[in-house]
Amino acid sequence: MNLKELLGQEIAKRLINNSVVGVGTGSTVECAIREIAKRVKEENLKINVVSTSISTTRLCESLGLTVLSDTVPKEIDFSFDGADAVDSKKRAIKGKGGAMLREKILASATKNYVIIADESKYAENIASKALVPIEVNPLAIRSVERILTSNFNIKSLSLRMAEKKFGEIITEFGNVIFDAEFENINSDTEKELNNIPGVIENGIFTHFASEILISKNSGKIVSIK
């Protein structure tokens, strides 16, 4: 069993009947969705899913799970998502897939938000593990670029380009994404980035996770609470 499957089984164990479950995006999350679908079918459980992406919605529906509309409910019982980097303070960098705005909205509406990752994603300095995606209104590309390079400890900054086509990647909300390589990230970085006019959201998750589950090569899962 690989590390992603290990996490998937752990998430499926936590499923509660008649609950609303928020589901993230990514390969680790996909393993968890498949394990959840198995348990729902075997035990005839009733759950409603809130999805963070089109790809997740399609997978859930193909496995027979009920997906709610795009509007995030006032409160979600339990949510889980993967991450590009995590640390011992329950901070994470997410959004490599470009869905950080929807992911953060979902996280903010969740009573119990769990991030899952294998041990390769762990570091005390999460900036050393992953670039920080920053979603920006196209009108503010140049002004945001200037502020980022002038006011933050950024080692490199690039506009995310689409593969096999001309131009920038456009998010489902019509925005572009900067990928920033930070030297380090502190407790205020997330808020400071979002205070820049034109920045819609960023991929730093500072105070959202109630728990982080890390799968180890030894076959164990470590919980950070």
Read off the pLDDT band of 1 (50, 70, 90): low
Q: Is 119 a catalytic residue?
A: no
| Lowest-confidence pick of 61-75, 83-97, 140-154, 160-174 | 160-174
**What domains are there in the chain, each with its CATH number?**
3-123+206-224 (3.40.50.1360), 126-203 (3.30.70.260)
Residue 162 in contact with residue 169, Cβ under 8 Å? yes
Average pLDDT over residues 144-165: 92
Read off the pLDDT band of 211 (50, 70, 90): very high
> Is 192 a residue whose pLDDT tops 80?
yes
pLDDT digits (tens, 9 = 90+) for 29-69: 999 999 999 999 999 999 999 998 888 999 999 999 999 98
Residue 10 in contact with residue 78, Cβ under 8 Å? no
Percent of the chain with pLDDT over 90: 82
Average pLDDT over residues 136-147: 98
pLDDT attached to residue 54: 87
Distance, C-alpha 23 to centroid of its chain: 9
pLDDT attached to residue 40: 96
**Backbone torsions φ then ψ of 33, nearest 5 degrees:** -60, -45
Task: Sheet with 199-202: list strands edge to edge.
Answer: 154-159, 176-182, 132-136, 199-202
Average pLDDT over residues 64-76: 88
> Is 81 a residue whose pLDDT tops 90?
yes
pLDDT attached to residue 25: 87
Write down the catalytic residue from 10, 30, 35, 103.
103
> Is 131 a residue whose pLDDT tops 70?
yes
Summary mean pLDDT of the chain: 94
| Lowest-confidence pick of 3-7, 14-18, 117-121 | 3-7
pLDDT attached to residue 74: 85
Average pLDDT over residues 19-26: 93
pLDDT attached to residue 18: 95
Q: Which residues of 40-76 are buried (b: 16+ CB within 10 A; e: fewer)?
A: beeeeeebebbbbbeebbebbeeeebebbeeebeeeb
Q: Quote the pTM value.
A: 0.92
- The highest-confidence range among 127-131, 166-170, 218-222, by mean pLDDT, is 127-131
Alpha-carbon distances, residue 137 vs 47, 170, 181 (angstroms) = 35, 10, 20
Query: How many other CB atoms are found less than 10 A from the CB of residue 137?
Result: 16
Residue 141 in contact with residue 106, Cβ under 8 Å? no
